Structure 1
Amino acid sequence: MTSEGEDAVPEHLELLEGVRVVDFTQALSGPYCTLMLADVGADVIKIENRVRGDDSRHWGPPFLGSDAAYFMSVNRNKRSVALDLKDPDDVALAHEVVASADVVVENWRPGTAERLGFGAEQLRAAHPGLIVCSISGFGQGQGTRSGYDQIVQGTSGVMPMTGPAGEPTKWGVPIADIAAGMFAAAAISSALVERARTGRGRVIDIAMQDSLISMLTHHAARHLATGVVPPSDHNGHATICPYGMFPTADGFVNLCVGNDSQFQRMCAALGRDDLAQDERFATNPLRVANRAVLLGTLTETLAGLATSDAIAALEQVGVPAGAVADIGEALADESTLARDMVMSFDRDDVSGVRVVNTPWKFDGRAPSIRRAPPHLGEHNVDVLSEIRTGQ
């Protein structure tokens, strides 16, 4: 209960309340972007193919009700309008929806939006204040190469740096899609702040390739400074030692020793004062130079300890260490649940669906579910009625 004069706390986060986003995207990069906006209050209207809808509705099993779990994971808090963008009447309806919007997001192959009449410059000519965000594999004006996550992980330099040396390996999560979606949401939010001040719209061009190139950070800096292509660090680190994953008696432990003081404390905690006194390991550059000997010795030491014992000993002296959990263990972890990172919803065709949350906390509050992921075309009547009555 609020006291007199206090504003009632809204049931859901409403940071973007009043912002309407028309979402022409499907699969993951675009829907992840619009999910982030929807979770903080934007009215996201998902325009889908009248027959099949978003391709990810069919990317199963598993299916939850009529839709794949994949689709359910990134399309909550949105409304669905199903149209045929090859039908002139439906195209006109889509333009009506766009005319009511603040933001349009699309992730068609470059050139498709223009061909359909929804290109950024075409829309901005009619609606100067509109923010139009295009997400693609390699950027606008760079040809029409397909931008699937697997392709971009390969072309961005990421895969040779992941996994064992000589075995290019993709990340276990579709990082190119997710990174592009996150960068797009951040760019849109920035453009909305500017538009509130100036009334000006923006054309935003997000490439999955650019997103992963940007995330190369210090790896790229090493190459740009030396001309040397960094080899795969696998589960270690090229410039910090010891830093990486080590087998234990019953699993694995990740160990990150970032400075000389931590190294001294790690040696004491593991009963290896001899390593602390060894001149070959006195500083990080020396430990990097002598990594083979040091890592071999630490591997032998940690292999004789249970994971929980190793972590407890290291944490007690302030040395960063942690277990290697699988997805099930991570999602069931007390801190994961305490921070509202797993949420659930019911839909008319399925109950108790669980999905992961976006990671924001605003004044201690996590995003919540206002709407279950929509059925295909579920909101055609409602959305068009609102637009035509000026809502």
Structure 2
Amino acid sequence: MKALEGVKILDFTHVQSGPTCTQLLAWFGADVIKVERPGVGDATRQQLVDVPGADSLYFTMLNHNKRSIELNSKNETGKEVLTRLIETCDVMVENFAPGALDRMGFTWERIQEINPKMILASVKGFGPGNYEDCKVYENVAQCAGGAASTTGFRDGPPLVTGAQIGDSGTGLHLALGIVTALYQAQRSGQGQKVLAPMQDGVINLCRVKLRDQQRLKAGPLKEYSQYGEGIEFGEATPRAGNDSGGGQPGRILKCKGWEDDPNAYTYFITQAAVWEKICDLIGEPEWKTKEGYATPPERLDKLNEIFTRIEDWTKTKTKFEVMDICNPLGIPVGPILSTKEIIEDDGLRKTGTIVEVDHPKRGKYVSVGCPIKLSGSPVEVTRSPLLGEHTVEILREVLGYDGEALAKVVESGAVGDVNKQAAE
């Protein structure tokens, strides 16, 4: 049995934040019914297209294990179908612009009338307040959530990260909220609204930087490189380059081949517990007891010298050789893996973190699999649905339409060109 088997999700999401959430729920066994505009579908189907005539990777990699129904919610018959979907499903997930559901005639009060146990889960850019009606995208969320101001080097501009912490990060937060609300509904019999603002999600992921903001009141942040360089701190948490944020000094260092390979680097942490082993490794055994080097506080103003010396050693080894040598010694290091190396990693494929999926129109492609592993609910990643592929199936099996009633819905134009779908 799958963990969420029997749970029906009405998926009114598009682009990335919402689909990330519903895909995760689908991987855990929920029946996710993706509602899409007839003839158009999720906008990402046609964004960044690499195979003409096929759904883009942007869409396919965010919509595995779902079923698709085309539905015009502005059509009267479409409203009837949507009402029955709300009656039948356990959760409705949406990431429309603020007020869109209300304009469709499905306010929270109306949804509760239709199904008192319904959980309405929403992604919005900002929570209630001055900016709640503002439209937000990934990088805007990173900037408003504190990530950009604390990312990059001290003498450079703020930077956004390649990790989609605004979109996908918020989707993960929303998924947790939904599962929690489902658990409560089992005991209370009542649904509720679940809100995951993108700004809030980014702030949660940046909590250590808010920690450091408060620590500034007590004095300089000694684990930041600028302390050892004698540079004063300002009023806000500064950008710290590649310094470790956990109190143990760490940096990204060049490895063998860095001149030609932009990812020939390793992350190296000078953990206090293995300092003596590091000294032996890099050929500086006297640093183990030398005044100014023996203890972590003494080393803070010498981190540039220390990491330069360590880098002299790492540049003689590949990033994987650094791993092979340091791991048995307990020295924390990690290779800078490129996206190509990650896709080709046998270990990640074995665990299902990287999967290969076959699609009827684009052929085989590589995607990210479920990042969370449950021993009692294994995940099989299935391809994303074609637009409206399951329209008739959902109308019949989920909503009970058949015969004349089904024909009426099809003829109304509320569910796209069903006959063409059937012919294909």
- Output the TM-score relative to the length of structure 1: 0.90
1:257 to 267, 270, 277: 270
Q: Matched residues in 2 for 1:229 and 1:316: separation?
A: 39
1:314 equivalent to 2:326? Answer: yes
Which amino acid counterpart does residue 252 of structure 1 have in structure 2? Answer: Y
Structure 1 counterpart SS, 2:347? helix
Alignment check: 8 A CA contact 1:340 1:366 kept: no
Instruction: String of CA shifts for 1:233-269, please: whole Å, max 9, x gaps.
Output: 22222563531211123221111233x2222222222
CA RMSD of aligned residues (A): 2.2
Structure 1 counterpart SS, 2:35? strand
Q: Which runs of 5+ in 1 are unaligned?
A: 1-9
Partner in structure 2 of residue 130 of structure 1: 118
Which amino acid counterpart does residue 116 of structure 1 have in structure 2? Answer: M
Change (3 A) 1:380 1:53: same
Change (3 A) 1:311 1:94: same
Mean CA deviation greater in 86-95 or 201-210: 86-95
Partner in structure 2 of residue 354 of structure 1: 366
Q: CA deviation at 1:349?
A: 2.3
Change (3 A) 1:262 1:124: farther
Change (3 A) 1:123 1:320: same
Q: Matched residues in 1 for 2:376 and 2:87: separation?
A: 36
Partner in structure 2 of residue 384 of structure 1: 395
Q: CA deviation at 1:377?
A: 1.2
Alignment check: 8 A CA contact 1:241 1:291 kept: no
Change (3 A) 1:232 1:82: same
Where do residues 72-151 of structure 1 align in structure 2 (5 Å cutoff)?
A: 72-140=60-128, 142-151=131-140
Q: Matched residues in 2 for 1:388 and 1:237: separation?
A: 53
Q: Matched residues in 1 for 2:56 and 2:286: separation?
A: 56
Partner in structure 2 of residue 6 of structure 1: none
1:184 equivalent to 2:174? Answer: yes
Q: Matched residues in 1 for 2:9 and 2:267: separation?
A: 42
Where do residues 1-391 of structure 1 align in structure 2 (5 Å cutoff)?
A: 14-63=2-51, 66-140=54-128, 142-165=131-154, 166-226=156-216, 228-237=235-244, 240-250=247-257, 251-258=264-271, 260-363=272-375, 366-369=378-381, 371-389=382-400
Q: Matched residues in 1 for 2:395 and 2:293: separation?
A: 69
Q: Matched residues in 2 for 1:99 and 1:140: separation?
A: 28
Alignment check: 8 A CA contact 2:208 2:245 kept: no
Q: CA deviation at 1:350?
A: 3.4
Mean CA deviation greater in 187-196 or 204-213: 187-196
Q: CA deviation at 1:55?
A: 0.6
Alignment check: 8 A CA contact 1:140 1:205 kept: no
Partner in structure 1 of residue 412 of structure 2: none
Q: CA deviation at 1:364?
A: 7.5
Which amino acid counterpart does residue 161 of structure 2 have in structure 1? Answer: W
Structure 2 counterpart SS, 1:67? coil
Q: CA deviation at 1:230?
A: 1.7
Q: Matched residues in 1 for 2:109 and 2:206: separation?
A: 31
Which amino acid counterpart does residue 229 of structure 1 have in structure 2? Answer: A
Q: CA deviation at 1:159?
A: 1.1
- Output the TM-score relative to the length of structure 2: 0.83
Structure 2 counterpart SS, 1:381? helix
Which amino acid counterpart does residue 291 of structure 1 have in structure 2? Answer: L
Alignment check: 8 A CA contact 2:92 2:120 kept: yes
Alignment check: 8 A CA contact 1:360 1:367 kept: no
Structure 2 counterpart SS, 1:30? helix
Change (3 A) 1:104 1:273: same
Which amino acid counterpart does residue 115 of structure 1 have in structure 2? Answer: R
Q: CA deviation at 1:140?
A: 4.8
Q: Matched residues in 2 for 1:388 and 1:297: separation?
A: 68
Instruction: String of CA shifts for 1:79-138, please: whole Å, max 9, x gaps.
Output: 111112222221221121111000000001111111112333431233211111010111
Alignment check: 8 A CA contact 1:85 1:91 kept: yes
Q: Percent identity?
A: 27
Structure 2 counterpart SS, 1:290? helix
Alignment check: 8 A CA contact 1:176 1:212 kept: yes
Structure 2 counterpart SS, 1:74? coil
Structure 1 counterpart SS, 2:292? helix
Q: Matched residues in 2 for 1:375 and 1:125: separation?
A: 32
Which amino acid counterpart does residue 138 of structure 2 have in structure 1? Answer: D
Total equivalences in the alignment = 377
Mean CA deviation greater in 162-171 or 39-48: 162-171
Instruction: String of CA shifts for 1:37-70, please: whole Å, max 9, x gaps.
Output: 0001100001111131101101123238520011
Q: Matched residues in 2 for 1:238 and 1:199: separation?
A: 44
Mean CA deviation greater in 279-288 or 104-113: 279-288
Alignment check: 8 A CA contact 2:44 2:58 kept: yes
Q: Matched residues in 2 for 1:288 and 1:120: separation?
A: 56
Q: CA deviation at 1:35?
A: 0.3
Alignment check: 8 A CA contact 1:269 1:317 kept: no
Alignment check: 8 A CA contact 2:275 2:288 kept: yes
Which amino acid counterpart does residue 60 of structure 2 have in structure 1? Answer: M
Change (3 A) 1:65 1:207: same
Q: Which runs of 5+ in 2 are unaligned?
A: 218-234, 258-263, 403-424
Partner in structure 2 of residue 7 of structure 1: none
